[in-house]
A and B are shown apart, each in its own frame.
Chain A
Amino acid sequence: MRKHALITAALLLPTAAAFSAGYQLNLQGLRQLAMGGGGTAMPWDASTIFYNPGGLARLTSLQAYASVQFIMPRVEYLNQTTGQTARTTNATFTPFNIYVGGTLKGADRLGFGVGVYTPFGSGTTWDDNWTGRYVTQSIYLQSIFIQPTLSYRISDGVSIGAGIIFATGHTDITRAMPVQNSQGLDGHAELKGKASGMGYNIGISLKASEQLHFGITYRSRVDMRVKDGDVTFSNMPAAIAGNFPNTSFDATLPLPEVLSVGAAWKPLSRFTIQLDFNLVGWKAYDSLAFNYADEVNGSKRTSSPRLYQNRIAARLGGHYQATDALAIMLGAAYDPTPVRDGFVSPDLPDANRIILSAGLSYKLAKSLNLLAAVEYVSSEKRQATYDEAAFGGTYQTKAITPGIGLTYDF
C-alpha cells in the first residue's frame, strides 16, 4: 500500500473568513461609539482624524486623545440535528486609539495630526473537541493603523482633509486536521503571520449653518499582505507527517473600502442629532487564497470563495450637553451582514447586527475631558451553512464593549 494523500487539498488548510463585519470594530472614538458609531458630519474631537479627516481643520485647538475599549464577544452555536451547543471561550480584547491633532493659534486654517488606531482586533476560540474543529478551532486578528493627516479649511463652511494609512497587524489561525494518531488525537495546524498594507482616508466637512453639518468620507481598501507566515503542524501521525511539512505561507486579506455620508442637526444649542450611512465594499472579499512555499498534501495553493456582498450600515445618535461639564450620548445602529447563506463559517458566524450604545463626557479640569462609553451588539439568530465544509447550524453573537478615554487640549 502506498502512503496516501489523505485529505482533499481544498479542505486541508485553514482559511479565514475573518476580516468581516464582526471583526471590523468601529471603535475608533468614544463619543462616536456612544452614538451608534457615526461621526462623519461633526468633528467632535481629534478622533475625526479617523471619522472625517476634513473635520480636523475645524478643531479650535490642538488635542491629545487616548482611549481603550474592552470588547467581550460571545458567540454561541446550536446544531438542531444533534442538539449540540457550543460557545466560544470568554476573552477580552483591548483595541485602543491615540490621536494627536487639531489646529494651532494663528494658523487655524490648517489642521494636522496623526492617529494610531485598531480597526480590527478580535478573536474567536472554540472548545478543543467541538464538532466544527476541522473547520476552525481559533482565530485571532489584530491590526494597527497609523494615519498622518492634513486638513485645510477652505472657507467657514468647507474644509477638506486627507491621511495616508500605514497598516500593520498579525493573524493567528488554528484548526484540527482530520487525521488521528494512534492515541486517537487529531492533527493540528496553525497559521501565524504578520501582515502589512497601505491605504488612505479622505473627507470633506461641510458646515451649512450653525445648526446643520454634513460630511463625506472615503476610506480606501487596504490589502493586508501576509508574507512568510509560519505554517506549523503538530500531532500529525508519523506515517503521514511527511505530507505536511512545516512551511511558510503568503496571503492577502482585503480590508474593505468604506464610503460614509453623515448629517448632524442641532435643533437646540445643547442638543445634536446625527445620522450616518456607511457603504462598505465587502465585495472585495471575493475569495481567500493561501500560497505555500512547499507542497502541503500535494498542493501549493488553496483558495476558497467568499463572495461577500456590499452593505450599507445606518447609525443614529444623539448628544446632549447637560451642563457645561457633562454631556450625555445615546445611539443605535443597524449593521447588515455581507456574508451570504452558504458562506457562513464558524470562524466568523456573521449576521445582521443591532447596536445600542450610550456614553458621557465629563470635564475634569479646564483642558482635560474624561470620556466613557458602552456599546451593546446583538446579532440576529442566524441559521446558515458553510457549504465548503458541509457545516451548518444556528449562530448568535453578542458583545458588550465598555471604553474609557481622556482628551487634553493644548
Chain B
Amino acid sequence: MNSYRPLLLAAGAALALGACRPNLTPAPYSKANLDFTRYVAVGNSLTSGYADNSLYRSGQMVAYPSMLSWSFSRMGPSDYKAPLLPGESGWPSPKLILGTSTDMMGNVSLGPVSYPNQLDTTGSSINIAAQGPYNNLGVPGIRAIDFLNPFYGLLNPYATRFFSSPNPLKELDRINPSFFTMWLGNNDVLGYATSGGVGKSSGGSPFSLADREAISSTDYFADGVDSALKHLMADSNAHGAIINIPDVTSIPFFNTVPYNGLVLSRQGQVDSLNFAYHTTGIKFTLGANPFVIEDNTVPVIHRRLAQEGELILLTVPQDSLRYAGWGSIKPIPDRYVLDAGEIQAVHQATSIFNGILHSRAEAHGLAYVDINAFLKSLAPGILYHGVNFTTEFVRGGLFSLDGVHLTPRGYAMVANEILRTINYYYGASLQMVDVNAYDGVRFP
C-alpha cells in the first residue's frame, strides 16, 4: 500500500489547490494607439440620451457616450461628465410612459401617455456651465448647420442650460479632445420628415427660423460638419469616429400607422363613402382601405388615396382617425403624411449628407460608423441573449415611446456597433456593453 500513498496524496493536493473551481478570465483588451483621456461626444438628442419624447436624468445616464466612456475607462483614465438634469419627469415637457388611456368614446387602450406623477423639473433651466466642461455635448434638436450660427445657444433651451457661450463651436474647444465621436446631421433631415414634409425640401439655412422644418442646404451642411471637425481636431493627434445618419423613414414614427389603416367592416360604411366620393374616382371596399390624404396637387378636391409606401406619422391624432372621419370623409392633413415625393427628398438628402460625412471621415482618418446600415439590419429582428429585438413600435424593444429615439437597450446596441467599428478601424479590441443590463420598454 505504501507505493500508493504518494499517488493519493498527490491527488488530494491537486484537489485542495482549488482545481475544483473553474477559472475563466478574458483575453486582454487593447486600445491600440488611441488616447481616451479627453473624450468628447458631439451630437443631438440621440447623443444626449433623449428618449420617450423628452430629456430626463436616468435617460442621460445611459446615453451611448456614457456606455462608450465606460468601455474607454476600462483601458485607463477617461473622464466623463454629462450635463445632467435634476429630475426624472422630463424637461421642458414631460416624458411619455406606457400606460392605459381612455379615448373620447370610452375605449381603453395601452399606449404612450404623458408622465402622470409630480414634475421634478425645479432647477432644470439654471445654467450649469460652471460645473463643466462636459464630455457629452449632445443638444437635442441641434443640426450640423447650427454650428455655423454663433448665437445658436440662445435659441435652444437645452444648449442654454449648459453652454458657456452662445457659440456651439466654442463649446467644442472647452475640452481639447484626444478622442471624439460625432453624430450630427439627423435633424438636418428629421425636422422636415417629422413635420410631414411641409417645409422646404432643400436649401435650409441655419439663420432662418422657418427653415427648422426644411432639409438643410448641402453647402451649409458641409460647412457645419467641417467647422465642427476643425474644432474637434485642434489636437493634431486626436482620433475619433463619425456616425452617419440613419434613414429616418425606417423608424417606428413613420411605420406604425399603416397607409391602408382605414378598415371598413360594414357595407353601409362602404356605400356611404362611395356615394360621397362618387364623382372623384375614389372607391372603397370592405376591409382595409388606403387612407384619404390631403394633396393640394390634385385639382378641386385636394385629396387622394394614400399609396403603398407612403408614410403616416405616429403623431396623427387617433381620436380624429376613429371618430372625426379623418382619412375617409376628411383627408389626413399633409403635415401628418410623408408622400412618395417627400420620402424621395428625405432619402436623397440622407444619401448626400452621408456621402459628405463619409468623405470627411476618410479625409481625416476617422472611423466611419454606418449606423444607417446597422439599423436597417435590425428591421427584420435581431436575437440577443434570448431577447428578440425589432424596430417595431413599443414591442420591438429598441425604440422608445416617441418612435424616434431609442430605449437604453437600443442605445446599447448602437454603442456596441460604434465600439465594433472603432475596434475594426483602429485595430483595437475594446470591451462592449451587455445590452440586457439596460432597460427596454417598461410595461404597466
Contacts and interface: CB of A to CB of B under 8 A. Distances in A.
A135 B4 CA distance: 46
B388 A11 contact: yes
Contacts of B98: 239
B29 A131 contact: no
Nearest to A400: B20
Interface stretch (B144-152, B178-186, B296-304, B378-386): B378-386
A356 B12 CA distance: 11
A374 B387 contact: no
A40 B111 CA distance: 65
A133 interface: yes
A6 B4 CA distance: 63
B442 interface: yes
A398 B444 contact: no
B100 interface: yes
Contacts of B4: 320, 322, 328, 330
A1 interface: yes
Contacts, number: 139
Interface in A113-130: 129
Interface string A1-41: 11111111001000000000000000000000000000000
Given A82-B433, A180-B440, A1 B22 contact: no
B104 interface: no
A74 B431 contact: no
Interface size class of B (residues with CB under 8 A): 35 or more
B111 A1 contact: yes
A83 interface: yes
A391 B25 contact: no
A124 B21 CA distance: 15
B230 interface: no
B11 A358 contact: yes
B130 interface: no
A181 B443 contact: yes
Contacts of A131: 385, 434, 436-437
A2 B110 CA distance: 7
Interface string B9-45: 0010011000111111111010000000000000000
A160 B396 CA distance: 62
Contact of B26 (A74, A78, A397): A78
A82 B111 contact: no
Interface centre among B14, B386, B397, by most A CB within 10 Å?
Answer: B386
Contacts of A184: 439, 442
Contact of A6 (B7, B74, B383, B395): B395
A239 B24 contact: no
Nearest to B436: A131
Interface centre among B98, B382, B439, B443, by most A CB within 10 Å?
Answer: B443
Interface string A75-105: 1111111111100000000000000000000
A391 B386 CA distance: 7
Interface in B313-370: none
A50 interface: no
Contacts of B385: 131-132, 134-135, 389-391
Nearest to B23: A76
Contacts of A394: 24
A328 B26 CA distance: 41
A328 B19 contact: no
13 contacts: A78-B25, A80-B26, A82-B431, A82-B434, A133-B386, A134-B436, A180-B442, A181-B443, A181-B444, A237-B444, A239-B100, A328-B4, A399-B20
Q: Which 5 A-B pairs have the closest CB atoms?
A: A134-B386, A237-B443, A390-B383, A396-B22, A78-B24
